[in-house]
Chains A and B, each alone.
Chain A
Amino acid sequence: MEDFLKLVIATGASFLFLSLVFMPMERVFPAKKKQKILRSNWVLDLCYFLGQYLLWNGLVLMLLNILGNWLDGVMPRDFRLLVGNQPLWLQATEVILLSDLFIYWGHRIQHKVDFLWRFHKVHHSTEHLDWLAAHREHPLDTIYTVGLINLPALLLGFDLEALSILVAFRGIWAIYIHSNVRLPIGPLKYIIGSPELHHWHHDIERDAGNYANVSPLMDLVFGTYSCPPSEPEKVGIKEAFPKSYLGQLAKPVLPESIWKLLIRKRKTDPARVANGCPDEIK
């Protein structure tokens, strides 16, 4: 109970902190000037935020712990110690490059392979980008992405705790690049990811490029870098997708036949028909 209370306090504190850091930026340097803070589907993204902090985070970490323990035996212990004992700057460089390489290809494959896309499109289903929308992510997608980005460290034995500033920076910057901010950073945009780049990744086209997140280096190397001078006209996905939290969590994991059956039942539910509820799940 005490742990849960701490978790709730941490969640509330995180929400307040992120609001304080990002909301003024979104007001003063907006990418889409007409977008309000409390835009449509804000509550849905809040559900994702709460779900991540209160529920899924523990599961993801538990699985990563299992994966980490399992990977311990893969590489020789002496080699892992050698990696972990390198100078910090060298470890930081290696972690950035390897994690970026892994996540770049992992992410690019998510956009190509339908099975992976069905989970990842939850993240892309948002039609409004802001700091809160960054949290819209299916738990299985989280396991995939967090697993991939940590794989080099788990496998090779990088001392991520000593690189905690780098780890923390990547975490908060991943939220920043989703925020409704337009703040050109000049030539730095070739080194560090920015909202102007990542918003284009969320373009309505599934293969719009910019698969790297924190640094666009891999996009530059593999030819998927895209930085038009304006904001994308429309973000989201072309496919029909549920608009409710539970619907978005369930659809990717359910076989199509069962999903259709559920929808048919929902459509013919007399209570819903009598209330004139819109058919939000297609």
Chain B
Amino acid sequence: MLKKRLLQTATLLLFVCGIVLFLAYRSGNFTDLLSWERTSLQSSPNGGSLNTSKPNGKDSIRIKKTTMSSSKSVVLVNYKSSGKDSAHQYYKPTKSMLSSSKSAIIFKPADSAKKIR
């Protein structure tokens, strides 16, 4: 009985820790450790892919277009960091500045600074 209880507790603990770790990763805490970025789109309510990072962030034209059209739309679509894309690098600080006042609880300012670099 005790063994069963322990097993159940350990399983629940693992589950909760897994979820917390996942949430921490998706809110940008491990961006430096993992090269692919978090999403800003809600995934399918049926379940489905959790990795909704955009597959390719090299398209400068697309980023320019998005930046010009609206500052808000780009927040919804996740562009992956890429050293090859000057437009993206230019764009990033702007996004951080726009959202910094609201996202202070979730994003550490240091993360933004690292991204700018």
CB proximity of B41 to chain A, nearest CB, Å: 6
Known: A64-B41, A69-B69, A171-B42. A137 touches B48 (CB 8 A): yes
Q: Are B76 and A154 in contact (CB under 8 A)?
A: yes
> How far is B46's CA from A178's CA once the two chains are assembled, in angstroms?
8
Closest to B51 in A: A10
Residues of chain B with a CB closer than 8 A to A213's CB? 45-46
Known: A20-B18, A29-B11. A58 touches B55 (CB 8 A): yes
- Please indicate which of the listed interface residues A81, A149, A165 has the most CB atoms of chain B within 10 Å of its own CB: A165
Query: What 0/1 pattern do residues 33 to 75 of B give for CB contact below 8 A with A?
Result: 0011011111111111111111110000010011001111101
Residues 45-59 of A contacting B (Cβ, < 8 Å): 52-53, 56-58
Q: Are B45 and A167 in contact (CB under 8 A)?
A: no
Q: Are B8 and A164 in contact (CB under 8 A)?
A: no
Residues of chain A with a CB closer than 8 A to B72's CB? 72, 77, 80-81, 84, 157, 159
> How far is B99's CA from A227's CA once the two chains are assembled, in angstroms?
41
Q: State the majority secondary structure of interface residues on A.
A: helix
Residues 122-170 of A contacting B (Cβ, < 8 Å): 123, 131, 133-135, 137, 141-142, 145-146, 149-150, 153-154, 157, 159-162, 164-165, 167-170
> How far is B45's CA from A103's CA once the two chains are assembled, in angstroms?
8
Q: Are B75 and A84 in contact (CB under 8 A)?
A: yes
From A7, A103, A107, A178, B47 is in contact (CB under 8 Å) with A178
Q: Are A164 and B28 in contact (CB under 8 A)?
A: yes
| Range, interface on chain A | 35 or more
Q: Are B27 and A168 in contact (CB under 8 A)?
A: yes
Query: What 0/1 pattern do residues 11 to 23 of B give for CB contact below 8 A with A?
Result: 1101100110011
**Interface residues contributed by chain B, number (CB under 8 Å):** 54
Q: Are A160 and B40 in contact (CB under 8 A)?
A: yes
Q: Are B103 and A161 in contact (CB under 8 A)?
A: yes
Q: Are A146 and B44 in contact (CB under 8 A)?
A: yes
> How far is B105's CA from A91's CA once the two chains are assembled, in angstroms?
14
From B26, B53, B65, A164 is in contact (CB under 8 Å) with B26
Known: A61-B77, A137-B44, A168-B22. A69 touches B65 (CB 8 A): yes
Known: A77-B70, A164-B106, A168-B27. A174 touches B46 (CB 8 A): yes
Q: Are B45 and A214 in contact (CB under 8 A)?
A: yes
Residues 72-117 of B contacting A (Cβ, < 8 Å): 72-73, 75-78, 99, 101-103, 105-107
**Can you list 28 A-B pairs with a CB-CB distance of less than 8 A?**
A3-B55, A10-B36, A20-B14, A22-B15, A27-B11, A28-B7, A58-B55, A61-B41, A69-B73, A72-B69, A73-B69, A103-B45, A134-B48, A142-B44, A146-B48, A157-B72, A157-B73, A159-B103, A162-B75, A162-B103, A168-B23, A168-B39, A168-B50, A170-B42, A170-B45, A171-B50, A172-B19, A174-B48
Taking Cβ atoms with an 8 Å cutoff, the residues of B that contact A are: 7-8, 11-12, 14-15, 18-19, 22-23, 25-28, 35-36, 38-56, 62, 65-66, 69-73, 75-78, 99, 101-103, 105-107
